[in-house]
Structure 1
């Protein structure tokens, strides 16, 4: 039924979603590398435009950091310009020493709740 339809979510939807939680990266298995605000509260795609020149945009942090895999996914084609290079040089040291914690799952902590959890919706009693 859904085959061939476009993704119902766009960048604005993801931006709105990521305004509400804090991402605590553990093993990096579930958190998107480029789209989640895990680098000092910012998304890598907003820090460096190398996202535009990347071959695989939807990998998770663990996959991207393994052996510097995110670097090998940058395509040196027409989509890579001279403006990308200094951004790469500034971005690389920001994540170079980032260490994953293999025994801890990634966690989303919701900023606007006391418990840090999503509160279940309970309809009004009639």
Structure 2
């Protein structure tokens, strides 16, 4: 995860490679002169779902917008809104213009022996019919696409990577740890303490491993990360001396406990 979201800032390779693969889908829109456009790209369904959720489409002539795969119905794809109709469609590679002309998308619908007409299928058919009827194509005006996660609307691998981290709460670790003046190993140790990932006696005990039990400094309380850095009487003495030295009273751990 990014450091602003509590992580170490080390790239998640799965998320990063997915962000890079979205470049193929972006160039299918922006540069159709590339020789591979129209061929199968190395993108899976998750890649395409992320791309659809990360972009806004403005319909022009309908030549670039995919009838089933592009999010042209209120920012959502027909294959997601009308999955039953999508299932019985036998030609899913048409553009919006090709599907709209002479209602070609209707001619592509074929029921097999295992399919049946249901109320849900009819409702989805009617909804798609109305959506297609309400679309107006502007001949001579190309379709446009914009990327949601950049100010200029252009795709970047960095924004595609961070888009996959959306929904994770932000932290103040950047100002609290990473931007502070200290050696890197001290910052990393502080991060481990906040995450409660240092091998103190309480964590060792939960795994049934040998441990000291009590704090080796005060010999009174169980050794925990919080106890070692704030509540131990020896630690408090050190913080009092440092706070007196630098003239910064908020370093008093007693005030931390009250807060």
TM-score over 0.5 for the alignment?
yes
- 1:101 is matched with which residue: 135, 138, 145? 138
- 1:76 is matched with which residue: 82, 101, 111? 111
- 2:54 is matched with which residue: 14, 17, 20? 20
Shift of 1:9: 2.3
Q: Distance in 2 between matches of 1:89 and 1:120?
A: 39
* CA deviations over 1:12-38 (Å, ceiling 9, x no partner): 110011121101110010111101111
Shift of 1:97: 2.3
Q: Distance in 2 between matches of 1:7 and 1:40?
A: 26
Structure 1 portions without partners, runs of 5+: 1-5, 122-126
Structure 2 portions without partners, runs of 5+: 1-39, 159-259
Residue 111 of structure 1 corresponds to which residue in structure 2? Answer: 148
Rg larger for: 2
C-alpha distance 65-120 of structure 1, shift in aligned 2 (>3 A): same
* CA deviations over 1:59-116 (Å, ceiling 9, x no partner): 1101000111111111022345413122112221122121101111011111111111
- Quick check: which one's helix share is greater? 2
C-alpha distance 119-11 of structure 1, shift in aligned 2 (>3 A): closer
**Highest RCO, 1 vs 2 (Cα 8 Å, sep ≥ 6):** 1
How many pairs are equivalent?
116
State the Cα RMSD in Å: 2.0
